[in-house]
Each structure stands twice: as C-alpha cells, then as structure tokens.
C-alpha cells in the first residue's frame, strides 16, 4: 500500500503532462484549421465528407471510412480537399500515415469544398482528428 502511495504523485504528474500535451496538440490543430495552407493534411472520417463509397478488397462497403485528406486549394472562406484513394474502417492507419504520407495516393477527381466554419465543427465533432502541415516540420 505504501509503495502505491509513493507512486501516486508520479502518476499524477505523468497524467497532467499527457493532458497538457494533448491540449497543446489540439490548440495547434485548431490554429492550422483557422489558417489553412495548400498541402495541409487531415486524418479524417472520409465518409463524412466524400460522396464516394469506399470499399475494401472484396468490394464490401467501408462505413465509416477513415483516411487522409489533403488541402489542394485555399479559398476566402475555406479549403478544397481531395481524399486518399484507399480507406480503412479504423482511425489507426490514418494516424500513422499522416506522419509519413509519401506512399499515399490522392484522388484528384473529387474535390470537396469545406468552409472554415465547417472545418472547425468537423474538428469539434471528431470527424477531423489529426491535422498536419508537412512543411512546418
């Protein structure tokens, strides 16, 4: 019991550091969404934005479908994005792909306009859950 009590302060410090890091990351994501740039990447629920029906290798529908979106144009009130060609049924792969998107192929045939207001709402609703500006790193 005493050993657990000694570990409690360390666990509290680690928890606070993790929470602070997550909050800072969230603020950084929001700042990027408020001032978007061509090339920005969003890990997102693609099916919430695209009219395309994403399927797996067996042509079974993936819903919800997760993957990356890339900003191809910045407009006065928002952005134009394209989705990646492939999608998955879980968020995990998009979280890792956004760190190194070199193997990702984007579909330029469907251009999706999203207003800045809708970008912020999508982030709040967790439809966009990671934001990255590759040139900033």
Q: In the prediction, which pLDDT does 3 show?
A: 58
Give dist(CA 60, CA 70) in Å, integer: 25
Judged against a pLDDT cut of 60, whether residue 30 lies above it is answered with yes
Give dist(CA 88, CA 64) in Å, integer: 8
Q: In the prediction, which pLDDT does 19 show?
A: 36
Judged against a pLDDT cut of 80, whether residue 16 lies above it is answered with no
DSSP state of 103: G
Angle between the 2-34 and 116-124 helix axes, to the nearest 10 degrees? 160
13 burial type by CB count under 10 A (0-12 exposed, 13-18 middle, 19+ buried): exposed
DSSP state of 55: B
Judged against a pLDDT cut of 80, whether residue 42 lies above it is answered with yes
**Cα three-residue angle 98-103-107, rounded to 5 degrees:** 85
Per-residue pLDDT tens digits for 83-110: 999 899 999 989 999 999 999 999 999 9
Confidence of residue 57 (pLDDT cuts 50, 70, 90): confident
């Amino acid at each position: 019991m005493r050993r657990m009590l000694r570990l409690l302060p360390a666990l509290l410090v680690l928890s606070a550091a993790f929470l602070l890091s997550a909050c800072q990351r969230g603020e950084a994501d929001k700042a990027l969404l408020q001032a978007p740039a061509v090339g920005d990447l969003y890990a997102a629920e693609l099916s919430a934005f695209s009219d395309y029906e994403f399927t797996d290798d067996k042509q079974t529908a993936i819903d919800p479908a997760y993957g990356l979106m890339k900003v191809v144009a910045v407009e006065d009130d928002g952005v134009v994005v394209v989705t990646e060609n492939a999608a998955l049924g879980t968020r995990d792969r998009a979280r890792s792909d956004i760190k190194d998107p070199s193997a990702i192929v984007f579909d330029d045939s469907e251009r999706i306009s999203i207003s800045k207001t809708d970008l912020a709402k999508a982030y709040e609703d967790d439809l966009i859950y990671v934001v990255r500006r590759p040139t900033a790193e």
